[in-house]
């Protein structure tokens, strides 16, 4: 169980295909899931299941993940916005 506080959007820099009205982590991930479904992302890999040498079964999925941005990447984006 995670005790981390959910992420909230203070200001969008770029939204890509996401709805800019999304402000909460939950609404962003819901929007991402719908976009992945609409793009039939499940067909990219097909159904993948395998048994590992550790005796556990694994699946491979295409998913959206919110990650911390590389500072250099953000710096480059922000400099493009100014131009």
Res. 70: pLDDT tops 80: yes
Q: What does DSSP assign to residue 24?
A: B
Sequence ranges of the domains in the chain? 1-83
Mean pLDDT of the chain: 93
How many Å apart are CA 81 and CA 8, to the nearest integer?
A: 22
7 C-beta neighbours (distance < 10 Å), count: 14
Q: What is the pTM of this model?
A: 0.78
Q: What is the model's pLDDT at position 2? A: 60
Res. 75: pLDDT tops 80: yes
Res. 4: pLDDT tops 90: no
Averaged pLDDT, 68-76: 95
Averaged pLDDT, 25-38: 96
How many Å apart are CA 66 and CA 14, to the nearest integer?
A: 14
Backbone angle region of 16, left / alpha / beta, with phi > 0 → left and psi within -120 to 50 → alpha:
left
What lies within 8 Å, CB to CB, of 81 at 6+ separation is: 13
């Amino acid at each position: 169980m995670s005790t981390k506080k959910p992420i909230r959007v203070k200001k969008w820099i770029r939204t890509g295909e996401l709805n800019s009205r999304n402000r909460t982590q939950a609404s962003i991930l819901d929007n991402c899931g719908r976009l992945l479904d609409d793009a039939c992302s499940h067909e990219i890999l097909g159904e993948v299941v395998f048994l590992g040498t550790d005796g556990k079964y694994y699946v491979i999925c295409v998913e959206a993940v919110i990650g911390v941005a590389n500072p250099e990447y953000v710096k480059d984006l922000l400099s493009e916005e100014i131009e």
